[in-house]
Amino acid sequence: MTDFATRRMTMVDTQVRPSDVTKFPIIDAMLTVPREEFVPADRREAAYVGEHLDLGAGRVVLDPRSFAKLLDAVDVQPDELVLDVGAAYGYSTAVLARMAEAVVALEEDLLMAAEAENALSRVGADNSVVVTGALTAGSAKHAPFDVIVVQGAVEHLPEALIAQLKDGGRIGCLFAEGANGVVRVGYKMDGAVSWRFAFNASAPVLPGFERHRAFTL
């Protein structure tokens, strides 16, 4: 039988801590949440690899380093409400649920959303809720959010997500820029968002977050 607990510890010790992520809530959550429970059954053996886990259709589970550094950059607090955009099978939501007061997992793929709901229930993430709908639309019914985290790259960030961020809140996004990418954290003050560089990373652009290109003859 595969010893996933040992793999989980190795993941944190070799992929997370060496990336200068040392905050206890992040380390504790990533040591605790069984990542293998939040991937398709045929990908369980690959759950702890140090790269994005391909889910098909342009979707991935972010690699542990990028995900941990994203959490570090947005600095989730225990009294905050978080919107997890593109939650897929729910791993990111389960980790966030151990750090925040409550998490809304937004997923547009109905199969993934159903699997996420089941997995989150199995691990006791009772402070999370799975919402199905377009990722670009956010979840206005649960807004405003203290923190928004996007689980994939974006070329264009919809105004709907910015509008659902509380004044004083933060949004963490991986912006695709050519072959590379840059993670930035946006801080909303007086209705406007100012962006700060966090770190370099890359990931597939989430469906719906592509930049609209002008049609030319």
In a domain, 130, yes or no: yes
Domain for residue 210, yes or no?
Answer: no
In-domain check, residue 71: yes
What count of residues does the chain have? 217
| Residue 209 domain-assigned (yes or no) | no
Indicate the number of domains in the chain.
Answer: 1
- Say what the pLDDT of residue 179 is: 75
Q: Is residue 110 part of a domain?
A: yes
Q: Which CATH number is 132's domain given?
A: 3.40.50.150
Give the Cβ contact number of residue 179 at 10 Å.
6
Containing structural domain, residue 101 = 4-200
Q: Is residue 119 part of a domain?
A: yes
Q: Three-class SS of residue 175?
A: strand
Q: Which residues of 156-174 are buried (b: 16+ CB within 10 A; e: fewer)?
A: ebbeebbebbeeebbbbbb
What is the model's pTM? 0.95
- What pLDDT score does 213 carry? 60
- What is the predicted pLDDT for the residue at 178? 76
Q: What is the pLDDT of residue 1?
A: 61
**CA pair distance 99, 5, nearest whole angstrom:** 20
Mean pLDDT in each 10-residue stretch from start to end of the chain (217 residues)?
A: 91 96 97 96 93 91 97 98 98 98 98 98 98 97 98 95 97 90 97 96 93 59
Question: What pLDDT score does 30 carry?
Answer: 98
- Structural domain includes residue 206: no
With respect to residue 211, please indicate whether it lies within any of the assigned structural domains. no
> What does the pLDDT read at residue 87?
98
Note the pLDDT of residue 5.
95
